[in-house]
């Protein structure tokens, strides 16, 4: 317990230190170069979604990508429209993590942190402290998210918590709420998905219950972004709320046709329930993009209008 608390504090310290380093580096000289590069890569919505998907697939952490996106908006490097489309892609890119986690392949956070520190030391004198700070910030964020999640992973081993997840999962709405709370606590949808894959493969939870809990994990994963937005500018906070609302819409869209959704996943997936659960996660995020993407800018404008009246 004491060790877990210490790891939690270290993870949060790394996380917020990474945010501070990243903001400082982006707001100074490096900000101009990063802005040009990102605007060249994400001038169109389709390109922004692809960039978000590829980057998240490479980093294997949608939480890390969305936190970085909030930092970029906070620094004025990209606008909220670009950020929203990148977040769409991040949601799709994290589906790769679901498959990888099922095979117990973890994110090499310590290696990323060590490399970022080495890059910082080497680049500080050659390329200036601003560029070095960006690399150091990225490394701290990646490792901070991983350490925080692992520090809270002991909660998944408490029998009462697992029993509660199984009971709540029988009713889709309650399953979504339980999945959201559980994922929000451990701050990792990948960890939540890995636990669910293990439960469904062992026959402790049926596919229907597991899918409802997985839908909730899509909402719970927004907690990290919301925390990052607390210390951001108004644009950064707005971006973090966009992430939450987007994921909420995806889940709300599926709930009325939940049984049909589970049936469709079963039909198009192999017999392995673990793969079926991973496919359900992918299909949910793909459907969310297809629903929102055609009117993405209008959606952001609508949210801006609501913010003015709040």
Secondary structure letter of residue 231 according to DSSP: T
Point out the least confidently predicted range of 12-21, 127-136, 275-284: 127-136
The pTM of the full predicted model, rounded to 2 decimals, is 0.69
Spatial distance between the Cα atoms of 170 and 244, rounded to a whole number of angstroms: 24
Number of domains in the chain: 1
Spatial distance between the Cα atoms of 279 and 273, rounded to a whole number of angstroms: 10
With a pLDDT cut of 70, the percent of the chain lying above it is: 65
Residue where the block lists tokens 């150091």: 136
Question: Is pLDDT at 156 greater than 60 in this prediction?
Answer: no
Residue 165, Cβ neighbours under 10 Å: how many? 26
**Could you give the dihedral angle defined by the CA atoms of residues 74, 75, 79 and 84, in that order, rounded to the nearest 10 degrees?**
-50
Burial 118-144 (b: 16+ CB within 10 A, else e): ebbeebbeeeebbbbbbbbbbbbbbbb
Of 177 and 158, the one with more pLDDT:
177
Spatial distance between the Cα atoms of 83 and 222, rounded to a whole number of angstroms: 15
Of 232 and 41, the one with more pLDDT:
232
Give the closest residue to 91 by CA, choosing from 229, 190, 209. Answer: 190
Task: Give the residue-averaged pLDDT of 86-104.
Answer: 72
Q: How confident is the model at residue 235 (pLDDT cuts 50, 70, 90)?
A: confident
**DSSP H stretches of helix in the chain:** 2-27, 29-41, 45-59, 62-74, 80-102, 109-126, 129-151, 159-168, 172-186, 189-201, 207-220, 222-230, 234-254, 258-268, 273-292, 296-309
Name, of 143-147, 190-194, 286-290, the range with top average pLDDT.
Answer: 286-290
Structure confidence at residue 106 (pLDDT) = 47
Helix axes 159-168, 189-201, angle to 10 degrees: 80
Give the closest residue to 11 by CA, choosing from 187, 136, 219, 161. Answer: 187
Question: Is pLDDT at 148 greater than 70 in this prediction?
Answer: no
Task: Give the residue-averaged pLDDT of 207-218.
Answer: 85
Structure confidence at residue 222 (pLDDT) = 83
* Structural domain span for residue 209: 2-309
Point out the least confidently predicted range of 91-100, 172-181, 232-241, 246-255: 91-100
Residue where the block lists tokens 């009713």: 171
Q: How confident is the model at residue 109 (pLDDT cuts 50, 70, 90)?
A: low
Contact assessment for residue 63 and residue 142, using Cβ atoms and an 8 Å cutoff:
no
């Amino acid at each position: 317990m004491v060790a877990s608390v210490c790891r939690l504090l270290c993870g949060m310290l790394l996380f917020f230190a990474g945010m501070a380093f990243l903001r400082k580096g982006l707001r100074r000289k490096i900000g101009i170069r990063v802005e040009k590069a990102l605007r060249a890569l994400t001038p169109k919505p389709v390109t922004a979604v692809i960039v978000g998907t590829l980057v998240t697939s490479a980093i294997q952490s949608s939480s890390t990508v969305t936190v970085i996106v909030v930092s970029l908006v906070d620094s004025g490097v990209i606008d909220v429209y670009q950020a929203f489309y990148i977040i769409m892609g991040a949601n799709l890119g994290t589906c790769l993590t679901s498959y990888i986690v099922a095979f117990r392949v973890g994110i090499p956070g310590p290696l990323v942190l060590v490399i970022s520190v080495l890059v910082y030391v080497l680049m500080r004198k050659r390329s200036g402290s601003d560029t070095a700070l960006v690399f150091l910030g990225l490394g701290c964020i990646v490792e901070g998210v991983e350490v925080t999640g692992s520090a809270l992973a002991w909660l998944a081993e408490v029998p009462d918590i697992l029993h509660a997840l199984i009971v709540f999962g029988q009713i889709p709405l309650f399953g979504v709420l339980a999945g959201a709370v559980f994922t929000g606590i451990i701050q990792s949808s990948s960890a939540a998905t890995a636990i669910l894959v293990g439960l469904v493969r062992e026959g402790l939870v049926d596919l229907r219950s597991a899918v409802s809990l997985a839908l909730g994990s899509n909402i719970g994963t927004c907690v990290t972004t919301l925390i990052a937005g607390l210390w951001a500018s108004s644009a950064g906070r707005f971006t973090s709320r966009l992430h939450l609302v987007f994921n909420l819409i995806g889940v709300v869209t599926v709930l009325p046709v939940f049984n049909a959704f589970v049936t469709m996943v079963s039909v198009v997936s192999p017999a392995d329930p673990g793969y079926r659960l991973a496919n359900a996660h992918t299909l949910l995020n793909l459907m969310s993009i297809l629903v929102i993407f055609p009117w993405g800018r209008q959606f952001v404008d609508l949210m801006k209008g609501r913010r003015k009246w709040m």
